[in-house]
Chain A
Amino acid sequence: MALLADQGNREKPLTDSIRGAANASAQGLRHDLRAASIVWRRELIRFKSDRLRAITALVQPVLFLFVLGTGLSGLASHGLPAGVDFKTFIYPGVLAMSVLFTAIFSAASIVWDREFGFLREMLVAPVHRWAIVVGKCLGGATVATFQGIIFLALAGVAHVPYNPVLLLTLIGELLLLSFTLTAFGVMMAARIKQIQAFMALTQMFVMPLFFLSGALFPLSGLPTWLTVLTRIDPLTYVVAPMRHAVFSHLTLSPAAMRELSPAITWGGWAVPVSLSVAIVAVMGAAMLGIAIAQFRKTE
């Protein structure tokens, strides 16, 4: 009993200092940034401890690149300029695909967190909801970009050069794409409470997004209906700049470049690469905004 009383005296300053500091500091932006940072770090810790996920997420893009890429190369070679491998052509699109699933599945962890109660731990904390949503989206973006970088290591197999400028450009574009996709997933996860429904819905979106993005075929010379659909698909505005980056680091004739990596056109007007990237960034920001608004509601 005497021992307990003694401990009581020793511990009082610690609890008092925590109370004082928490009440003083917790108002500001720094506190929210600290909260966002720990939410982001949690995604990294979980990704690191789940190596199986990193490996399984590689299976699909590897199948597309090697099996589809090799299988169709004989057939596709008739349409390609001499010396250009079909695998090189589809590489940027498949690279985009490699982050597609990881980014959306990171957002799915919000649905898991809700089911296992951890979401409540985050939502009852004295932080602004935006800090949690931003941390989550940045976490998903980082993890998905790592996944993309693993696939980027296979660039040589598709005859894509390991040029530092090219690699940095691609990583930047992957990061932007991953962030937008995670924001999309988080926005959906705010509304959908069951993991099965979430998976089914995202599957319904993911495959059309991928197929309509021009990942597997050039955007020029398509029938009108397909041209319209590809221009609506947000993923198109990432795949085209990525392909542009890859092909401008190969030695190609201007004619071949135009044929294989045509600019996205809106009724004849060529959309510049910078605008294309800006479109994706704006969409990401808008979906992030919607996600934050949805998580702000109280009962």
Chain B
Amino acid sequence: MTAAISVSGLTKKYGEIEAVRGIDFEVATGETFGFLGPNGAGKSTTIKILCTLANPTTGSARVAGHDVVKERDTVRRNIGLVFQDTTLDSYLTGEQNLRFHADLYGVPKSAFAPRLRQVLEMVGLWDRKDSVVGTYSGGMQRRLEIARGLLHAPRVLFLDEPTVGLDPQTRVSIWEYIHDLKQREDITIFLTTHYMDEAENCDRIAIIDHGKIVAIDTPHALKASIGKDRVQISTAEDPAAIRELRNRFGIDAEMHEGLVTFSVTSGEQFVPTLFAEMPSEVRIRSVSVSRPSLDDVFMSYTGKTIRDAEATIGDRNRTLATRFGRR
């Protein structure tokens, strides 16, 4: 069985800027593959190339067994796309949007009706198929886009931030549809997300930073590779706390999400020592110890939490924020 996606030596330059600087990876058929990275790391560019929306500068990529440049139309027929921004016609009904898609992708006319029902029932929109899409809520529109992306029975489904901007309840239900989908159809899913708890749902994860892949493995293996627990403390004197941690314990701590954050091998055993030795003027208000999460994995490879990465746009802002946090 050939890989669903295989990328080798891929680069993309926009003028002087090197958005992707030579990446290689493979996604096996049937895998759910998460592609993570800070803004501007080359994530969107890579997806654009895999979806045939941009040509690589050098290197090659094959999706569903076909070259994305030489066999563009074959690749397009075998992939489903759900973008961050909606690409529905809000003046048409749900069914009309899907019929439009079926005709563009050459879905056999006899298969359209049963397939329409199947995908719409799967996302719970069958009873709303005759409503104009403009009347749908944000979550319903995203569900309709997923149904549309599946209509032509693609081998690989690309989901670019499928849950961004949705309320938590809808996010959970979108993931239920994705799991349900894996049960029903032999399909490979390639997705990006900003939510680390969602990335846990992936079979494997790749982290891209500054145009290169810095880590690629299962979520379990990635967390195990970090090895350390994450400790976050809230204090009255954060700069003093960071200074004392360095002087007394040789630990490099940083500010993340407004808390003094650092990693140690066994967090629970470290806490009593911390209280015993920390000078009283630091005044620790609260402590939390957590096992390594994907957030920690992300931070250890990219130097920032995904929320930091999301909060700042552009490299200059990001540097400023990091510098500010390290003071």
Are chains A and B native binding partners rather than an unrelated pairing? yes
> Could you give, for residues 21-47 of chain A, a 1 whenever the CB lies within 8 Å of some chain B CB and a 0 otherwise?
111011100010011011000100110
Contact B111 A17 (CB under 8 A): yes
Question: How far apart sit A4 and B181, CA to CA, in the bound complex (Å)?
Answer: 10
Cα–Cα, bound, A23→B104 (Å): 13
Known contacts A31-B106, A34-B106, A118-B89; is-contact A11 B111 (Cβ 8 Å) = no
Tell whether A14 is near chain B: CB-to-CB under 8 Å.
yes
Also in contact, A37 and B103, with CB within 8 A (given A8-B185, A42-B89): yes
Across the interface, do A121 and B76 meet the contact criterion of CB distance under 8 Å? no
Interface size of A in residues (CB-CB distance below 8 Å) = 41
Which candidate, A84-92, A122-130, A204-212, is the interface stretch facing chain B? A122-130
**Are A14 and B89 in contact (CB-based, < 8 A)?**
no
Q: Cβ of B89: which chain A residues have Cβ within 8 Å of it?
A: 42, 113, 116, 118, 121
Are A299 and B103 in contact (CB-based, < 8 A)? no
Q: Is the CB of A22 within 8 A of B183?
A: no
B53 touches A124 (CB 8 A): yes
Q: Is A156 an interface residue (CB 8 A)?
A: no
- Give B48's nearest chain A residue, CB to CB: A299
Query: Is the CB–CB distance between B106 and A117 below 8 Å?
Result: no
Q: Chain B residues with Cβ under 8 A from A251's Cβ? A: none
Residues of A within 8 A of B184 (CB): 4, 7-8, 11
| Count of A-B contacts judged by CB separation below 8 Å | 120
Beyond known contacts A12-B185, A18-B152: 17 more, CB 8 A cutoff: A14-B111, A18-B107, A18-B108, A18-B111, A18-B153, A22-B77, A22-B107, A22-B153, A25-B108, A26-B77, A37-B103, A117-B86, A120-B83, A124-B53, A125-B101, A299-B48, A299-B55
Chain B residues with a Cβ under 8 A of chain A: 48, 51-55, 73-74, 76-78, 81, 83, 85-92, 96, 99-101, 103-108, 111, 114-115, 118, 152-153, 155, 180, 183-186
- 27 A–B contacts, CB within 8 A, in A order: A5-B183, A7-B184, A8-B183, A11-B184, A11-B185, A14-B114, A14-B118, A14-B153, A18-B108, A19-B78, A19-B155, A21-B107, A21-B108, A22-B107, A23-B77, A25-B106, A35-B103, A42-B96, A45-B92, A113-B89, A117-B87, A121-B89, A124-B81, A125-B105, A126-B73, A126-B76, A299-B55
